[in-house]
Structure 1
């Protein structure tokens, strides 16, 4: 079954916020820790955004994971309402496609479900109630980009 986690967006203060959350809750940053936009292919990193946080995940005692990133200017206007979303970690590609298609029906597409540079199937949308979602299925082996 898919896991759902809060995903928080910040205007340049993501690293500071997550270090604070870690000091309050404890826990550990997952994977490689704090990933920067500079780790992405050049077409996904605009000048001046290199040191911004692209992704961080903090697993706190009890098993909850809080995720986040900075919201660069190239993403549009940062405002209340786009400062958080719900992130779905699917267990299979089929589950990711099913959840993405069902939840996005009648909503607004942000990023169609497709292969992402970090070796996942990924997409974003707002559902018909205005709630922002991101669906991610991490491949065990990175598929070839088309």
Structure 2
């Protein structure tokens, strides 16, 4: 069976992001983690490849040992649909801490409450309450 999943590549922050997202987004959990061992390409103990379910969506995580001239972009984002204003406000607050708000929480006509932000890792999130 062919599958597809978002793949988030970090430079030393994959574990922190993985833990943060699973704590912040309801119904999220770490599925598995494979770490670099002694003598492998990446720093020992860092994440070679991890998988998590973020609100039911499989997302892959990795720490690149190669430095890149690029990072995340808002043109690709994770879209979260919330079930209550309280849940949405908490998620926006926690993900937004240390990040950058692109569209503050408001009614934009296409949704009664919507926010778009880049978190402290640079990952873009759209948080919606239909």
Tell me the TM-score normalized by structure 1. Answer: 0.42
Bigger RCO (CA 8 Å, 6+ sep)? 1
Tell me the TM-score normalized by structure 2. Answer: 0.47
